[in-house]
Amino acid sequence: MSGGWERVRSTRSRLSRDVSLTGRSSTSRTVRLGRVQPQAPGHRTIHCNDREANFPVRFKGNSISTTKYNFFTFLPKGLFEQFRRVANCYFLFISILSMTPISPVNPITNVAPLSLVLLVSLIKEAFEDWKRFQNDMVINNSPVEVLQDQKWETVPWKKLQVGDIIRVKQDGFFPADLLLLAGTNPDGVCYVETANLDGETNLKIRKALERTWDYLTPEKAAEFKGEVQCEQPNNSLYTFTGNLIIQKQTLPLSPNQLLLRGCSLRNTEYIVGAVIFTGQETKVMMNSMNVPSKRSTLERKLDKLILTLFGSLFFMCLIGAIASGIFINRKYHYLGLDEGAPTEFNPNNRFGVAALTLFTLITLYSTIIPISLYVSIEMIKFIQCTQFINKDLHMYHAETNTAALARTSNLNEELGQVEYIFSDKTGTLTRNLMEFFKCSIGGEVYGCGITEIERGGALRSGINVQEVHKSVSAIHEKGFNFDDSRLMRGAWRNEPDPDTCKEFFRCLAICHTVLPEGDESPEKITYQAASPDEAALVTAAKNFGFFFYRRTPTMIYVRESHVEKMGKIQDVAYEILNVLEFNSTRKRQSVVCRYPDGRLVLYCKGADTVIYERLADGNDDLKKITRGHLEQFGSAGLRTLCLAYRDLSPEIYESWNEKFIQAKSSLRDREKKLDEVAELIEKELILIGSTAIEDKLQEGVPGCIETLSRAGIKIWVLTGDKMETAINIAYACNLINNEMKQFIISSETDAIREVENRGDQVEIARFIKEEVKKELKTCLEEAQHCLNTVYGPKLALVIDGKCLMYALDPSLRVMLLNLSLNCSSVVCCRVSPLQKAQVTSLVKKGARKITLSIGDGANDVSMIQAAHIGVGISGLEGMQAVMASDFAIAQFRYLADLLLVHGRWSYLRICKVITYFFYKNLTFTLTQFWFTFHTGFSGQRFYDDWFQSLYNVIFTALPVIMVGLFDKDVSASLSKKYPQLYKEGIRNVFFKWRVVGTWACFSVYQSLIFYSFVTISSAGGKNSSGKVFGLWDVSTMAFTCVVITVNLRLLMICNSITRWHYISVGGSILAWFIFIFVYSIFRENVFFVIYVLMSTFYFYVTILLVPIVALLGDFIYQGVQRWFFPYDYQIVQEIHRHEPDDNSRAGLLEIENRLTPQEERSYAIAQLPRELSKHTGFAFDSPGYESFFAAQLGIYAPQKAWDVARRASVRSRPTTSKKN
C-alpha cells in the first residue's frame, strides 16, 4: 500500500498542472501559488450510496494523472519544449539552411548533433514522464473497499465514484476526500497522520457527526442514504463547509469530518466514509502547482557569452561574405564561371554572391556555438545534485535521518556565489526544541539554569560564569530542562504561596491541546503536540507532579501527586467544557473546565500583552514583579507565556455558553464570531505567573556563521521576535560582537511612543517616517566615516519591522540599502513574512548580489521564493518551507558544506566546463575560418562533414563531463578550513570577460598553429617516393591535431585527475582514430587518407610537434600565472601539497560531521527507495497546509506567508482562509 505513495523526489518539483477550479464554473482559471481561490458560487449535491442519482451530474473519476505528456502528445509537445531553447532553434535553422544548395556541408553535419541532443533530452523527458506514469498507475490501482450490495468489495482507486461508501482500514491511505461517517473508536473519533501533506507525523483527530456513528457494518451502511450539499472543489485545505441532509435533518459539516486524500488512518481499526471529492478535484490535487523555476546568474551570463559568439560568428561571416564578393571573377576560368553560373558564384552579381556566401559561411561556422553545451551542463548539474549533494554524508543528519535534498538542479553553481544569507531565527538558527527552563509563580522566579545567551553575554562583559552544578536529582528530558529544589518533588508545598503553585501546575496540565500517546505511565508516555512549546509545558506539569495521562473529547485526566500529602496520588478528571483556540490574532488559548467538585474555572495562557490587557484590577505588585521577570526572561533569550485563571459562576458560564454554541454553529464568519464570544469571557483574569521556555541554538550554528562570514558572506537575521531576543541570538551566534559598531533603528523610542499614544494614524506614519529618515541619515554618515578609517570597526545594523516598513519606502530605500550593504551583519526583528521577502528582494534587485534565504517555517516561504536560492530546513516545523525551497538541509550548519564545498565546486566546475566548451568550439571553428582565406572565400569546408558533426558529440564530449563531475581544486575539508576561498566565487573570478578573453586568445593562437603548421609543412612531396597530399589529407592531419590538443588541454585545466579523466581523454582520442580507420574505408573523399597519412614519417613528426607547440603557450601562461599571480586556491593547494589525500579517512575525521557505522547504516537505510516515500507521497507542492490540522485543534497557527506575499503581488484583499 505504501508503495502507492512513492514518488521520486525529483519529479515532484516538475509537476506542472493546470488545475481548473471546478469542472463547471470556471475552467480557465489556474491555481496560483498558494492563493486560495475564490470559491465558485453554487454547491455540489451528492447523493451518498446512490450511483444512479449522481450519474446525471457526471462527477470526475478518481483516477489521477500527473504526467506531462501522453502517447500522442509526447512528440509534438516534447519537441516544442525543446525548441523553446534558443540554441536548439538556432541549430534547427542551421540544419534547414544546410539542406539548401548554398551549404558547403552535408546537412548531416548539423542534423546529426541536433538530433542527438534532442534525442538525449527527449529520452530524459520520456523517462521522467514514464516514472510519473508508473506512479500514477500504482496509485490508481491501489485497492479500496467499496460498499456494494451490503458487502465490502475491493476495487481499484480509479473506479471510485463520488457518493460511494468506502471502508479504510488502519494504516491505509484515504483514496479521495471523504466524509467521515463512522469509525471503530468510541465517540466517532479517528486519528489521521498527515505526513504526506505537511511532513508532520503527529496525529490529528477527526470526529464524525454523532448522527452517523452507527453506519459501521456493511448492513447498516447500506441503509445510509444521505445527501451532502457542500462547496465546489477548491484548493483550500483547511476549510470545508457543507451540510449533510439525512432523513430531512440538516447537519452542518466542518473540516472535522473531512478526511483528505493522502492522509492515512492511525490508531483506528477502520472507518467508513462517503466520497466527496475525487481524483483531480481532491483538495490536495488542486493544490499541486508549478514551482516557478529559477535560473542561475551564471547561466544568464552564459547567454551573454552565447550572444557574443553569435556576434563574432556574424562578424566572421561578414568578412568572408564581403571578401567572396570581391574575389569572385571570371578570370578563374577553371571554375567555369560563364553566364550560366548560379547566383552564388555569378561574378555579375557580386552582391548576390556576398549575400549567399554569408549564409554558406553561417552553416560552415555553426560549430562556434556549442550545441551540446546545454545538454552537458544539464547532465552535469543533475548528477551533481542527485549524486553529490543528496548523498553527501557530511550533510546527513543521523538523528532525524534526513539527508540534504536538492529540489532543483538549476542552481548548483549559484551556491558558489552567494554573498548574502537571509536567515530565519526560530527553527533555523535555534532548535525549535523547546525546553521548559524557568518560571515565575506568584512573583517568585524559579529555575537556576543559565542559558547559552546569558553565558555569552557574561563572557562579553568579562564575568566568568560558574557552571551551576545541577543537583543529582535534576531531571532532564525532552522538553524539560529545569532544576530548582524549591519546586521539584513536591517541595513547592513549602513555598510561600502553594495555592498559586497548584493553579500554575493545573493550568499547565489542563490548558492545552496535547494528545497523550502510549502507556499511561510518566516514563513511557509521549505527548503529541503541534507546537513544541505546548509539549514542553505539559511535560513540565508532569514533572511537577501533575501528570496528564488521558484525554477524551470531553475529559482530561490528571494524576496529581503530592496534592495534600507526600506520596499520595490521586487521579482527577476535569471536564473540558470549552476550548477557546489559539490563533495568531488572539495570541492566547483558554479552556473552561469543571472540577470534579463542580468548580468552574477558565484557564488561560498567552502572550504577555494580551493577558495583561485582560487581567482583573488590583494586585499591581504581582503584575509589576511578573513583568520584570518577563523582561528578564526575554533578555535571556527565553520565550515567555503568561498564565492566568478565572473562577466562573455557573450562571455567567451558562449564559456565555449559549452564545458560544450559537457562534460555533454559525455558517458564516464563524471564526470571527467565535473570537468575539471568547472576548466576553476572557476577562477579569487573575495572573498566576509566567513560563520561560528555552529555544536552544542549533548545533554548530555559531561556528558555521563564523565560517560563512570569513567566506565573505554577509548574514542577515530576519525574525518576528522581539528586538532584545533577536539581538541576544545574534550575539550568541557571533553575528554581532562588542567590537562592532551597532546601529539600532527602533520604533520603541519615547518620542514615537508619545506620538502613537495620541492615536492619529496619519500623524504617526509621518512622524515615524521622519524619525527613520533621520536615523538612517546619521547612521549612514557614521558608517561612511567608519569605513573611511583604515581599521574601523565592523558595522552591524538592527532595525525593527515598523521602522523597516518606512525604510523600505522608495524614497528611503536607497539609503537603507547603502547603509545595510556596508554592515557585515544586519538583524531585522518583528518583521512580517512580507517584509522578509521585501528585504530579500531589496538586496537581490537593488544591490544585484546573489542572495540565499534559509528558513524552516511557513512564514519563511515568501522569503525563500524571493531569493536567488531558497533553502529549507527539513526540520520539525512541517514541510512548507522545504516545499518552496530549492535545497533542503536538515541543519543550519550544513549550509557551510552546501555553500563552501558543493557550491564552490559546482561553480568552479561549471565555469571550467563553459569556458572549455567555448575554447574548444572556437578553436575548431577558427581553423576553418583561416582556411576560408585560402579558398577564395568560397566557403569550402576544411573538414569532412562527419568530422565536424562528431567533433562536439563524440570526440570531445565525455572528458568535459568528467571535469564537471570530478574536478576539485582543494578538498572538502580544506574548503572549510579556508573559507576565504569562497570569495573567488563571490567575485566571480572564474567566469569574467577577462577569463573568457584569455581563453579566446589561446583559441586564436592554437587555431593559427594548427592551421599554419599543418598546411605549411604539408607542402611538397610527403613520402620517400615523392607523392603529394591533397586537401583531405591535410584536413585529416589538422583534425587529428585538434582532437589530440583539445583533449590534452582539458587535462591541463584539471586540478585533480582521476583514472576517469585518463580513460575519457584517452578514449576520446582513441575514438577518433577508430572512427577514421573505419570511416576512411567507406567514404570517397577521405578514402584511405589516414592510411596514406600514417604511411609517412611526416605524420608522426607533425603529430608530436603541433599539439605540443599549441599547448606550450597555455603551459607557460599557466606556469607564469601560478608563479606570479596565484589564485588563493593555488596557494592553499601548495600549502597542503605534501599532505596525503584526504579522500579516505581524513574527510570523515572532521569532528562535527563524523559518522559512526551506525549512522552510516541509518543513512544507507534513508537512501533506500522505500524510505523516501515518507514525505514525498504527494503529487503536489504547496506551502498551504501549515497548520490545517493544528487549527482544527485550536493550536497556534502562524500567519500564512503566501497570503501576505500574494497580497503584495496582486494588490487585492486576500481571502483569508477560515480556521475552524
Partner 1 sequence: MDVDGGSTSSDSTRVRSIPIHSGQCKAFLSQFKQQSLPACKPVLTPAWVIATLLLLGFVFIPIGLVTLHASRGVLEIVDRYDADCVPEEFKGNKASYIKDTSVPKNCTRILKVHKYMKAPIYIYYQLDNYYQNHRRYVKSRSDQQLLHGLKYNDTSSCKPEESNNGLPVVPCGLIAWSLFNDTYTFIRGTAELRVNRKNIAWKSDRDHKFGKHVYPFNFQNGTLIGGGKLDPNIPLGDQEDLIVWMRTSALPSFRKIYGRIEEDLEADDVIVVHLMNNYNTYSFGGKKKLVISTSSWLGGRNDFLGVAYIFVGSSAIILSLVFLLLHVKNPRPYGDTAYLSWNRKGISS
Residue 186 interacting with partner 1 (CB under 8 A): no
Q: What is the full DSSP assignment across 456-477?
A: HHHHHTTPPPPPPPPPTT--EE
d(CA 158, CA 160) in angstroms, rounded, equals: 5
Q: Annotated catalytic, 1114?
A: no
- Binding residues for partner 1 restricted to 937-996, rule: CB under 8 A: 938-941, 966, 968, 972, 978, 980, 983
The nearest distance, CB 1012 to partner 1, in angstroms, is 9
Measured CA angle at 148 (ends 144, 150), to 5 deg: 115
The nearest distance, CB 979 to partner 1, in angstroms, is 10
> What is the per-residue binding string for partner 1 in 199-228, x denoting contact by CB under 8 A?
------------------------------
Residue 563 interacting with partner 1 (CB under 8 A): no
The nearest distance, CB 901 to partner 1, in angstroms, is 9
Query: Which of 326, 1164, 1209, 1210 touches partner 1 by CB under 8 A?
Result: 1164
Residue 936 interacting with partner 1 (CB under 8 A): yes
The nearest distance, CB 321 to partner 1, in angstroms, is 13
User: In terms of Cα–Cα distance, which of 565, 520, 574 is closest to 542?
Assistant: 520
Pick the closer one to partner 1 by CB: 356 or 858: 356
User: In terms of Cα–Cα distance, which of 239, 173, 406, 272 is closest to 1178?
Assistant: 173
Q: Which residue has the cell 490528571?
A: 558
Residue 367 interacting with partner 1 (CB under 8 A): no
Which set of grid coordinates corresponds to residue 361?
559561411
d(CA 977, CA 710) in angstroms, rounded, equals: 10
- Binding residues for partner 1 restricted to 895-914, rule: CB under 8 A: 905
**On the CB side of 451, how many CA atoms lie within 13 Å of its CA?**
28
The nearest distance, CB 1150 to partner 1, in angstroms, is 13
Task: Determine the interface stretch with partner 1 among 645-653, 662-670, 731-739, 1027-1035 (rule: CB under 8 A).
Answer: 1027-1035
- Binding residues for partner 1 restricted to 1168-1187, rule: CB under 8 A: 1168
The three-state secondary structure class of 270 is strand
Pick the closer one to partner 1 by CB: 345 or 1202: 345
Which set of grid coordinates corresponds to residue 353?
554572391
- Binding residues for partner 1 restricted to 78-107, rule: CB under 8 A: 104
CB neighbour burial string for 1049-1060, b if at least 16 within 10 angstroms, e if fewer: bbeebbbebeee
Q: What is the full DSSP assignment across 836-856?
A: HHHHHHIIIIIS---EEEEE-
The nearest distance, CB 342 to partner 1, in angstroms, is 8
Pick the closer one to partner 1 by CB: 144 or 1110: 1110
The nearest distance, CB 1148 to partner 1, in angstroms, is 9
Pick the closer one to partner 1 by CB: 527 or 982: 982
- Binding residues for partner 1 restricted to 1084-1123, rule: CB under 8 A: 1084-1085, 1087-1088, 1091-1092, 1096-1098, 1101-1102, 1104-1105, 1108-1109, 1112, 1115-1116, 1118-1119, 1122-1123
Task: Determine the interface stretch with partner 1 among 203-211, 556-564, 911-919, 1165-1173 (rule: CB under 8 A).
Answer: 1165-1173
> What is the per-residue binding string for partner 1 in 773-812, x denoting contact by CB under 8 A?
-----------------xx---------------------
Which set of grid coordinates corresponds to residue 714?
554577509
Pick the closer one to partner 1 by CB: 561 or 1162: 1162
The nearest distance, CB 1146 to partner 1, in angstroms, is 10
Residue 1016 interacting with partner 1 (CB under 8 A): yes
The three-state secondary structure class of 45 is strand
User: Alpha helices of 1095-1200 — where are they, by DSSP H?
Assistant: 1097-1124, 1128-1135, 1157-1167, 1169-1172, 1188-1192
Task: Determine the interface stretch with partner 1 among 442-450, 451-459, 761-769, 1020-1028 (rule: CB under 8 A).
Answer: 1020-1028
Task: Determine the interface stretch with partner 1 among 20-28, 466-474, 523-531, 1024-1032 (rule: CB under 8 A).
Answer: 1024-1032
- Parallel, antiparallel or unpaired: strands 869-873 and 887-889: parallel
Q: Give the other-Cβ count within 10 Å of 187's Cβ.
A: 14
Residue 1077 interacting with partner 1 (CB under 8 A): no
Residue 1029 interacting with partner 1 (CB under 8 A): yes
Q: Which of 136, 177, 424, 800 is catalytic?
A: 424
Residue 614: which region, alpha, beta or left (left: phi > 0; alpha: psi -120 to 50)?
alpha
d(CA 1135, CA 981) in angstroms, rounded, equals: 14
Consecutive H or E run containing 78:
helix 74-82
- Binding residues for partner 1 restricted to 36-75, rule: CB under 8 A: none
The nearest distance, CB 373 to partner 1, in angstroms, is 23
User: In terms of Cα–Cα distance, which of 373, 371, 361 is closest to 313?
Assistant: 361
Pick the closer one to partner 1 by CB: 119 or 1019: 1019
Residue 1126 interacting with partner 1 (CB under 8 A): yes
Pick the closer one to partner 1 by CB: 165 or 1086: 1086
Residue 876 interacting with partner 1 (CB under 8 A): no
1051 φ, ψ to 5°? -60, -30
Residue 1100: which region, alpha, beta or left (left: phi > 0; alpha: psi -120 to 50)?
alpha
> What is the per-residue binding string for partner 1 in 386-405, x denoting contact by CB under 8 A?
-xx--xxx------------
Binding-residue total with partner 1 (CB under 8 A): 110
CB neighbour burial string for 346-360, b if at least 16 within 10 angstroms, e if fewer: bbebbebbbbbbbbb
Query: Which of 256, 267, 1056, 1215 touches partner 1 by CB under 8 A?
Result: 1056
d(CA 1061, CA 959) in angstroms, rounded, equals: 6
Measured CA angle at 936 (ends 931, 939), to 5 deg: 60
Query: Which of 1, 1161, 1209, 1210 touches partner 1 by CB under 8 A?
Result: 1161
- CB contact at 8 A, 895 and 871: yes
Query: Which of 921, 975, 1035, 1187 touches partner 1 by CB under 8 A?
Result: 1035
Query: Which of 569, 1019, 1074, 1078 touches partner 1 by CB under 8 A?
Result: 1019
Residue 1144 interacting with partner 1 (CB under 8 A): yes
Residue 1058 interacting with partner 1 (CB under 8 A): yes
Which burial class, exposed, middle or buried, applies to 310 when counting CB atoms under 10 A from its CB (0-12, 13-18, 19+)? middle
Pick the closer one to partner 1 by CB: 699 or 1142: 1142
- CB contact at 8 A, 286 and 19: yes
Residue 1141 interacting with partner 1 (CB under 8 A): yes
Task: Determine the interface stretch with partner 1 among 153-161, 500-508, 654-662, 1131-1139 (rule: CB under 8 A).
Answer: 1131-1139
DSSP 647: E
Task: Determine the interface stretch with partner 1 among 527-535, 677-685, 762-770, 1079-1087 (rule: CB under 8 A).
Answer: 1079-1087
Consecutive H or E run containing 146:
strand 143-148
User: In terms of Cα–Cα distance, which of 363, 376, 306 is closest to 104?
Assistant: 363
Residue 1030 interacting with partner 1 (CB under 8 A): yes
d(CA 580, CA 601) in angstroms, rounded, equals: 13
Q: Give the other-Cβ count within 10 Å of 47's Cβ.
A: 19
- Binding residues for partner 1 restricted to 694-713, rule: CB under 8 A: 710, 712
Query: Which of 1131, 1159, 1174, 1215 touches partner 1 by CB under 8 A?
Result: 1131
Which burial class, exposed, middle or buried, applies to 491 when counting CB atoms under 10 A from its CB (0-12, 13-18, 19+)? middle
Query: Which of 1057, 1063, 1103, 1172 touches partner 1 by CB under 8 A?
Result: 1057
- Binding residues for partner 1 restricted to 340-359, rule: CB under 8 A: 340-341, 345
The catalytic site residues sit at 424
